[in-house]
Structure 1
Amino acid sequence: MTHVIIRGNNGRRHEVDFEDADLTVEIFINEQNVELVIEALDEDRPWQKKRFALVNLPRSKFDEAMANTARKRTSPIKAVE
């Protein structure tokens, strides 16, 4: 089950539960940032109520995390088109 949980500065927890919905996942990368967009394909919901999560983080932190993950894995990571 796909879900996203964050905790904001105010300490409140925010959760997006995608349940079993069909999803789109997009990744946008430039020299400074990596942006990950996950959206449920909820045709029956108005656009204002669609479930989505957007994560924007520094490219250097993303690269560091991917390198650490690659060092820990014994099997290769596959990219699927």
Structure 2
Amino acid sequence: MAHVIIRGGNGRRHEVDFEDADITVELHASEDHVELVIEASDDEAPSDKKRFALINIPRHLLSKAMADLARKDRRS
């Protein structure tokens, strides 16, 4: 069951619960940033109400996290 939880600078918690919906995951990358888009593909809500999450992070941080995970998996 896919879900996303974030907490903003004001301390508010926001959650997107995709429940058992089919989701699409798209990854877009530029030289500096990586954007991850997760969307409920079978959501019948109007386009401005569909469940989705958009994450935009610096590319070097994603690369480091993936490398750390690969090293951790190798040790297991």
- Alpha-carbon deviations, 1:29-66, whole Å to 9, x = none? 11100100000013421111100000000001000000
Aligned-pair RMSD on alpha carbons?
Answer: 1.3
Structure 2 residue matching 1:49: 3-state secondary structure:
coil
**Structure 1 match to 2:59:** 59
Give 1:2-21 correspondences, 5 Å limit.
2-21=2-21
Over 3 Å counting, the alpha-carbon distance change for 1:5 and 1:43 in structure 2 is closer
**Structure 1 match to 2:46:** 46
Identity %: 65
TM-score (norm. length: structure 1): 0.87
Q: Is the 1:38–1:53 Cα contact (8 Å) retained in structure 2?
A: yes
Q: State the 4+ residue runs in structure 1 displaced beyond 4 angstroms.
A: none
TM-score (norm. length: structure 2): 0.93
Distance 2:24 2:73 in 1: 26
Q: Which amino acid in 1 is paired with 2:59?
A: R
Distance 1:43 1:62 in 2: 29
Aligned length: 75
Unpaired runs of 5+ residues, structure 1, are 75-81
